[in-house]
Amino acid sequence: MEDVEIPGWAREVRRVAVLTGAGISTDSGVPDYRGPDGVWTRDPKLADAFTHHRFMADPQVRARFWRTYLGHAAWRAEPNAAHHALAELDRAGLAVRILTQNVDGLHQMAGIAARKVLELHGSMRSVVCTGCRARSDAGATLDRVAAGEADPPCRDCGGVLQLAVVLFGQYLDPDTLDQAKRIAAASQLMLAVGSSLLVEPAASLCRLAVGAGARLVIVNRDPTPYDGLADEVIREPIGSALPRIAAALTAAVGAD
């Protein structure tokens, strides 16, 4: 077997927190938000449909939101090499926890147990009623949209339905955020992958981890506000960087 180069930051690491953003899913065909072909880059006005106030106030905004998600690439997406590399790292015996800003569910599809994945911004695979708070599978609501209901109401109470995602103007679930902070503070290595690290409070988990003594490695195409805190910044494509990082961490366990 070919020798694996083990960077210094990979040594004596058993607890790994991985903060993932949209960039980890682009190889699966899911567009990011701020990249050259990103969702907001191609259609800046679409952000209106992702603003909580506008969503709740305007049925036409909700209709556009549902149309957007009806054809979302994530419904057809499969986990890519980066998702699988993190799943392999988990199976190798390290304590891996995923703190994801993504709503696509691809980490779980790659084989990481749902209890090890914190979806900071929610999940597009569920729907919640903003009135009675009933939750259901997103597929049933999207089937109603496909059948002609532009803005399907809750069948239990008639309230406004929303994908179980955090829209602009909404706060992250406090329990989820508190758990993410505990995981970041307990980690020995924080990997920040495919995130601009511009969206708070998720991005500040990097500073929290470093402040608690963790090493920080950032894998992202573009510079981030947290590059100066990192032990290493990796600009190579995520699909090749993550398998290499996972292999190094696994090899380090055997070498330590």
Q: Which residues pair with 148 in a beta bridge?
A: none
Alpha carbon distances (Å) from 114 to 17, 81, 86, 105: 15, 19, 14, 9
Question: If you search the block for the tokens 């109603």, which residue do you land on?
Answer: 144
State both tokens at 241.
Answer: 């960087």
Distances (CA, A) of 170 to 51, 96, 125, 161: 8, 28, 18, 15
Cα separation, 141 vs 147, in Å, equals 10
> 83, 84, 107, 121: which one is catalytic?
121
Give me the sheet containing 122-129, strands edge to edge.
135-137, 122-129, 161-165
Buried b (16+ CB within 10 A) or exposed e, 64-102: bbbeebeebebeebebbbbbbbbbbbbeeebebbbbbbb
Would residue 72 show up in a list of annotated catalytic residues for this protein? Answer: no
- Residues designated as active site: 121
